[in-house]
């Protein structure tokens, strides 16, 4: 036994085999780690990309103005009924606009300039104010401070999203000198070379970039510049404000005719911002408003409530039905050909594409039974059918996990089969069943396709109050917002995705807690 070749711990062959096995082990673990790492990376990337996008919609810009709600404007006919008040959007709008217009005489000059100024705020933005006044008529005649959302184009500009703008501090300006042409003037600016350098760095896209200079509440557009000498055209404010003021430059590379906000509108927005009238505030209206064609006014409330109502119907139908079907199949049904066929089909049903269930709902529920279109009732029923197989399968697994000895124990003291199931097996299986049901519900919550087919894609401006009202759901809202062209919808869409994900995370958390609380106790 002294021979190394004979020693089973030392022999060449044994060591070689051992090495090979160890290598295979390592390789396998390596693959596992790589796969896991990739999945994790993808997940983190996805979540952070969405969260980053959505963060753009977490705040938005509003104009905060003190309004005197004068009866003449709000109640032109003298009728103070809530309907009349809410109908008079124009009155409220002119209140807000006229308050702002007093600051900008140049906006009053022509019809075009007035229209351009008006489009800083969308008309419908005053609807919440009108509703509030309609609810509380005693506000009429008083002065209140109101936040009116800025039009999405301006909001996007101020957030730096589109059109992209570069802000530079360029130091002090000299006192303005009158220029040859009317309205223009000439100043010297400390570090104008920074601006030229930046422009050079951006590169030319054909057109010259717009460069605005901002001093306090005055904004001018650069017409030409030569070694620190600038010829400036005033857009809003007064020349003398440039006198010795510290000046900010705003470089906007995209040409004016290719963007949705003009230089003039940008100037007004910058002036209002400098004055502190425009404020960036948390975007709560995303959760309190219903859908709108204006991004800054749109919110997910109707879809949220729609999803909730739909889920209620889904839960009310699929959970009891799934659990009872599972109990019957698992505990009572004879094991014969028929039940076998049913079993196989339940399993197959779980793999049917969801859109097929949508078709079923459209033809059967809408067509044959004549249920209302776009209603959470129908959506809930369709989704209930969709997740029923999943719920049944999970519930059966939960029942099977209850040891047979519990059943025998109950039967042996003279319980009937029904009593054994309902007194002993069901309480033990229920957490597992609910786990499956919640996971099924989570799937239903994210379903879009079947809801499209039964018309839950409608534009819904009213919060649905019953399961037969017209409604839409969160994933459908994401779908419709994502198909809008305007840039402002992008962060809004991402924000709704975050809301949806948050709800899903909560549901999964509930599952984890359920599992924790009711770990097997036998």
Task: Using alpha carbons, select from 316, 435, 453 the residue that is nearest to residue 384.
Answer: 316
| d(C-alpha 237, C-alpha 7), whole Å | 97
Contact between 334 and 427 (Cβ < 8 Å) = no
Q: Give the β-pairing of 229-236 and 143-149.
A: unpaired
Complex with another protein: residue 130 or 420, whichever CB lies closer:
420
Which of 313, 410, 437, 441 is in the footprint of another protein by CB under 8 A?
410
Complex with another protein: residue 98 or 419, whichever CB lies closer:
419
Complex with another protein: residue 335 or 516, whichever CB lies closer:
335
Task: Provide, for the chain, the percentages of residues in helix, strand and coil under a 3-state DSSP scheme, each rounded to the nearest 5.
Answer: 60, 15, 30
Report H helices in 291-403.
301-327, 337-349, 354-360, 376-400
Query: What is the nearest approach in angstroms of another protein to the Cβ of residue 427?
Result: 8
Query: What is the nearest approach in angstroms of another protein to the Cβ of residue 424?
Result: 6
Complex with another protein: residue 397 or 411, whichever CB lies closer:
411
Which of 143, 405, 465, 466 is in the footprint of another protein by CB under 8 A?
405
Complex with another protein: residue 51 or 514, whichever CB lies closer:
514
Q: 85-104: which residues touch another protein (CB under 8 A)?
A: none
| d(C-alpha 225, C-alpha 251), whole Å | 14
Query: What is the nearest approach in angstroms of another protein to the Cβ of residue 323?
Result: 20
Query: What is the nearest approach in angstroms of another protein to the Cβ of residue 505?
Result: 31
Task: Using alpha carbons, select from 113, 76, 104 the residue that is nearest to residue 91.
Answer: 76
Q: Does 412 bind another protein (CB under 8 A)?
A: yes
Which of 13, 138, 335, 337 is in the footprint of another protein by CB under 8 A?
335
| Segment interacting with another protein, rule: CB under 8 A, options 31-39, 42-50, 400-408, 498-506 | 400-408
Q: Does 428 bind another protein (CB under 8 A)?
A: yes
Q: Does 403 bind another protein (CB under 8 A)?
A: yes
Q: Does 411 bind another protein (CB under 8 A)?
A: yes
Which of 13, 337, 517, 521 is in the footprint of another protein by CB under 8 A?
521
Contact between 492 and 434 (Cβ < 8 Å) = no
What Cα–Cα distance (Å) separates residue 147 from each residue in 19, 42, 88, 121, 333?
A: 73, 40, 18, 11, 64
Contact between 11 and 3 (Cβ < 8 Å) = no
Query: What is the nearest approach in angstroms of another protein to the Cβ of residue 402?
Result: 10
Q: Does 424 bind another protein (CB under 8 A)?
A: yes
Query: What is the nearest approach in angstroms of another protein to the Cβ of residue 290?
Result: 49
Contact between 128 and 162 (Cβ < 8 Å) = no
| d(C-alpha 347, C-alpha 240), whole Å | 79
**How is residue 448 written in tokens?**
């879009």
Contact between 102 and 53 (Cβ < 8 Å) = no
Query: What is the nearest approach in angstroms of another protein to the Cβ of residue 13?
Result: 43
| Segment interacting with another protein, rule: CB under 8 A, options 11-19, 294-302, 404-412, 496-504 | 404-412
| Segment interacting with another protein, rule: CB under 8 A, options 75-83, 140-148, 406-414, 447-455 | 406-414
* Angle, CA of 509, 515 and 516, to the nearest 5°: 90
Give the interface with another protein as residue ranges (CB under 8 A).
334-335, 403, 405-417, 419, 423-424, 428, 521-522
């Amino acid at each position: 036994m002294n021979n190394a070749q004979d020693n089973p711990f030392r022999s060449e062959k044994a060591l070689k085999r051992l090495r090979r096995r160890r290598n295979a082990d390592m390789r396998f673990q390596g693959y596992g780690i790589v796969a896991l790492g990739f999945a994790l990376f993808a997940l983190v990337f996805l979540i952070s990309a969405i969260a980053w996008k959505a963060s753009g919609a977490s705040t938005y810009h509003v104009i905060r103005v003190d309004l005197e709600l004068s009866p003449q404007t709000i109640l032109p006919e003298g009728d103070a009924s809530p309907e009349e008040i809410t109908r008079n959007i124009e009155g409220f709008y002119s209140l807000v606009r006229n308050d702002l217009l007093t600051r900008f005489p140049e906006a009053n000059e022509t019809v075009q300039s007035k229209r351009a100024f008006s489009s800083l705020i969308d008309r419908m933005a005053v609807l919440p104010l009108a509703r509030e006044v309609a609810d509380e008529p005693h506000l009429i005649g008083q002065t209140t401070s109101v936040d009116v959302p800025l039009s999405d184009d301006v909001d996007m500009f101020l957030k730096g999203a589109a059109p992209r703008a570069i802000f530079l501090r360029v130091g002090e300006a000299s006192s303005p000198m009158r220029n040859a042409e009317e309205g223009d003037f000439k100043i010297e600016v400390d570090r104008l070379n920074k601006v030229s350098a930046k422009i050079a760095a951006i590169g030319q896209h054909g057109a010259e970039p717009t460069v605005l200079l901002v001093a306090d509440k005055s904004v001018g557009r650069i017409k030409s510049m030569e070694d620190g000498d600038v010829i400036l055209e005033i857009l809003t404010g007064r020349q003398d404000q440039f006198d010795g003021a510290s000046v900010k430059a705003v470089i906007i590379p995209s040409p004016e005719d290719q963007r949705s906000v003009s230089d003039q509108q940008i100037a007004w927005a910058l002036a209002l911002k400098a004055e502190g009238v425009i404020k960036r505030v948390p975007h709560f209206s995303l959760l309190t408003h219903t859908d709108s064609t204006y991004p800054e006014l749109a919110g997910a409330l109707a879809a949220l409530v729609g999803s909730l109502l739909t889920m209620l119907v889904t839960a009310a139908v699929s959970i009891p039905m799934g659990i009872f079907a599972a109990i019957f199949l698992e505990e009572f049904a004879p094991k014969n050909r028929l039940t076998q066929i049913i079993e196989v089909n339940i399993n197959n049903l779980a793999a049917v594409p969801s859109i097929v269930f949508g078709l079923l709902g459209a033809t059967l529920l809408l067509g044959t039974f004549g249920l209302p279109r776009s209603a959470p009732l129908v959506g809930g029923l369709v989704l209930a059918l969709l997740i029923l197989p999943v719920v049944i399968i999970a519930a059966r697994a939960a029942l099977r996990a209850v040891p047979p000895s519990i059943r025998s124990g109950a039967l042996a003291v003279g319980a009937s089969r029904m009593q054994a199931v309902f007194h002993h097996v069901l309480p033990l299986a229920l957490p597992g069943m609910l786990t499956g049901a919640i996971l099924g519900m989570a799937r239903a919550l994210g379903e879009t396709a079947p809801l499209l087919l039964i018309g839950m894609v409608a534009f819904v401006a009213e919060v649905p109050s019953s399961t037969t009202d017209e409604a839409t759901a969160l994933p459908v809202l994401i779908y419709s917002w994502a198909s809008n062209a305007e840039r402002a919808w992008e962060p809004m869409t991402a924000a709704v995705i975050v809301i949806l994900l948050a709800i899903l995370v909560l549901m999964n958390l509930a599952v984890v807690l359920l599992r924790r609380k009711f770990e097997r106790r036998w």
